[in-house]
Amino acid sequence: MKLKILVAAGDGIGPEVTAEAVRILESVAEFGGYDFEFRHAPIGGTAIKVHGSPLPESTLDAALESDAVLLGAVGSNEFNALPPNRRPEAGLLQLRQALGGFANLRPSFAWPALCSNSPLRAEVVNGADILFVRELLGGLYFGEPRSWDREAGSAWNTMRYTRDEVIRVARVAFELARARRNKVTSVDKANVLEVSQLWRATVSEIATQYPDVTLEHQYVDACAMHLMNTPRNFDVVLTENLFGDILSDEAAVITGSLGMLPSATIGGQVNLYEPVHGSAPDIAGKGIANPLGAILTAAMVLRHSAKLEQDAQAVETSVRKVLEQGYRTADLARGETRMTVSTQEMGRLVYQSLNEIIDRRQAMHAV
């Protein structure tokens, strides 16, 4: 197995959490005898400082030459005065567009050891296991026309989808549901928006090709409520760009922290992997960021780009074990300091647990 991975750690806590994710991938490669090649490139504010651009050409070229891109986070308060198209975040939007991935997969899983961490009651979240499939290249974030006419005091964006854009992301959702619990909840606002009526009609049509998968439609406002009341009722949630952005952050409540959520963007020329959280300037440089979202993102690299399902599961099991042992980063600790560990320490604990799992697996194969 050979895999070229571009590591674009970015800003704030990006480099801190990405270092732990890379350590996990290196460990999997070493034990499995896989040839993972890592290259590093700047993106976001870090890239603006050195190259004057949030996505330097050298970074884009390196990304397009890779099999997978592992991103940390972008964003820094020192660039807030810049226009949106020159800010660190623009580098990430440009990269997403260039790589062409249209299906953003965001799992939201209630880790049993963390159920009491959720602001929701443990019995509500226990057993919740949701996979958001968010359309990433269309909708309001990219639709034209868009503008802000300051003199007229008016601004506008366009939510636009083509049938083909809906079909390709719907197929990803139905295929993934087949490997899970065979249910897709498609989320829209078809009672108000024509673009949602196209979305709903197209998803219903694709559903006929997947008779083994149950399709339900929900309006986005109702879905926001059901996610908090009955998160266990969801399996795959399929939705457009803006609704997916908001709902998947809302679902962070189920896991107990934004720092626990991984993501993968597939369907384009090169897959892009990034934890859901941002650069967290409020805690950057303190060594307290939760690296588990980034480490679980590394598991998604193994699953979707390297096709190493067993290794992906081994990483997820290591995370589960460390949480069961009671270790917490500050965001998960809720004021309890006894088992509170730093970013690096959490990374080392997962690394140690992973090595034990792999050792045991190899010993079993040797028998």
Q: Which is nearer to ligand NAD, 153 or 335 (CB)?
A: 335
CB of 62 to ligand NAD, least distance (A): 18
When the beta carbons of 188 and 274 are compared against ligand NAD, the nearer one is 274
Those residues with Cβ within 8 angstroms of residue 248's Cβ, 6 or more apart along the chain or in another chain: 106, 108, 132, 134, 261, 276
Q: Quick one: which H or E segment has residue 2? A: strand 2-10
Q: Encoding tokens for residue 75?
A: 């964003």
In the complex, least distance from residue 234 CB atom to ligand NAD, rounded to whole angstroms: 23
> Are the beta carbons of 290 and 346 closer than 8 angstroms?
yes
Could you tell me the smallest distance in angstroms from the CB atom of residue 221 to ligand NAD? Answer: 22
* Residue whose C-alpha is closest to residue 16's, from 59, 74, 75, 72: 72
Using the minimum distance from each CB to ligand NAD, give the nearer residue, 259 or 267. 259
Would you say 247 and 223 are in contact if contact means Cβ atoms under 8 Å apart?
yes
Where in the sequence numbering do the catalytic residues fall? 141, 189, 221, 245, 249
Q: Which is nearer to ligand NAD, 236 or 289 (CB)?
A: 289
- In angstroms, the CA 112 to CA 162 distance is 40
**Least distance (Å) between residue 261 CB and ligand NAD:** 9
Largest CA distance in the chain: 77
Least Å distance between CB 162 and ligand NAD?
Answer: 26
Nearest residue (CB) to ligand NAD, 198 versus 283: 283
- Asked whether the beta carbons of 290 and 260 are under 8 A apart, the reply is yes
Amino acid at 286: K
Q: Which two tokens stand for residue 268?
A: 């384009």
Contact 358, 24 (CB under 8 A): no
The set of residues, in sequence order, having a beta carbon less than 8 Å from that of 75 and lying 6+ positions away, is 11, 12, 44, 45, 87, 88, 89, 278, 279, 281
Question: Which residues contribute to the site for ligand NAD (CB under 6 A)?
Answer: 13, 17, 73-75, 89, 92, 258-259, 274, 277-283, 289-290, 293, 331
Q: What are the backbone dihedrals phi and psi of residue 70, each rounded to the nearest 5 degrees, phi first?
A: -105, 110
**Residue 5 or 73 having the CB closest to ligand NAD:** 73
| Residue 170 C-beta: closest distance to ligand NAD, Å | 24
Among 305, 313, 303, 276, smallest CA distance to 6 is for: 305
Contact 118, 108 (CB under 8 A): no
Q: How far is the CB of 91 from ligand NAD (least distance, A)?
A: 9
